[in-house]
Amino acid sequence: MFDTVLIVALSALSIALLLLFIRVIIGPSTQDRILALDAIGVLLVGFIGILMILQDTSVYSDIVLVLTILGFVGTLTLSKFLERGVVIEHDD
């Protein structure tokens, strides 16, 4: 019963990821695409979390951390690049 709930949850998350992917493809502006990719990153973290419960292992916890940080840095870099044309600003 418990496993069934988790598998249903995983399928629902997959559908959510698919919907986000639609937004990545059609998104009128580049910012829409970044937003959807950021949300995909966040939802993947949840996906891996449910897999951790399902497989009863805690070895994925490092992946969760790295994915969180990488998703954040990627979003920041892309939006900063679109805003100013540079990623790292110099004061001169």
| Cα separation, 69 vs 15, whole angstroms | 24
Q: For residue 89, state whether it binds another protein (rule: CB under 8 A).
A: no
In this chain, which of 83, 89, 91, 92 binds another protein, going by CB under 8 A?
83
Q: For residue 2, state whether it binds another protein (rule: CB under 8 A).
A: yes
Cβ-contact 31, 81 below 8 angstroms:
no
| Cα separation, 56 vs 63, whole angstroms | 15
Residues that bind another protein (rule: CB under 8 A) add up to a total of 44
In this chain, which of 25, 34, 90, 92 binds another protein, going by CB under 8 A?
34
